[in-house]
Amino acid sequence: MLETFIQWLEAHLQPCFYKSNFDIDCPGCGMQRALIVLLRGHLWQSLRLYPALMPVLFMIVFLGLHLLFKFKNGAAILKYLFIGNASLIMGNYVLKIFT
């Protein structure tokens, strides 16, 4: 079942608008491939492809839990998670551009 879902994801990868039109990577380039590799169970290879994937997934799960259970400091935690994720994504993007 999972392998069928992964094959479906691979067959329906969305092309990057910036890469196809401007021939440059965007800050999100690599996220789809990293998700597929993570679903196959290769954690370290996924982190190499797109280091921000795991923190972004954690933030999405935490957001869902906060919406269901209304954590006391959930909004503040989400704010800091967002700032951290944005910093990680932009840092990774800058490194990708200059290397």
Stretch 24-48: mean pLDDT: 95
In a domain, residue 50? The reply is yes
Stretch 74-97: mean pLDDT: 96
3-class SS of residue 66: helix
The C-alpha atoms of residue 84 and residue 97 are separated, in whole angstroms, by: 20
Domain count, the chain: 1
The C-alpha atoms of residue 78 and residue 15 are separated, in whole angstroms, by: 29
Stretch 2-17: mean pLDDT: 95
In a domain, residue 8? The reply is no
In a domain, residue 68? The reply is yes
In a domain, residue 6? The reply is no
In a domain, residue 85? The reply is yes
- Classify residue 36 by its DSSP letter: H
pLDDT at 77 over 90: yes
Q: How confident is the model at residue 87 (pLDDT cuts 50, 70, 90)?
A: very high
Can you give the residue range of the structural domain that contains 84? Answer: 27-98
What's residue 99's pLDDT? Answer: 85
- Average pLDDT, rounded, for the chain: 96
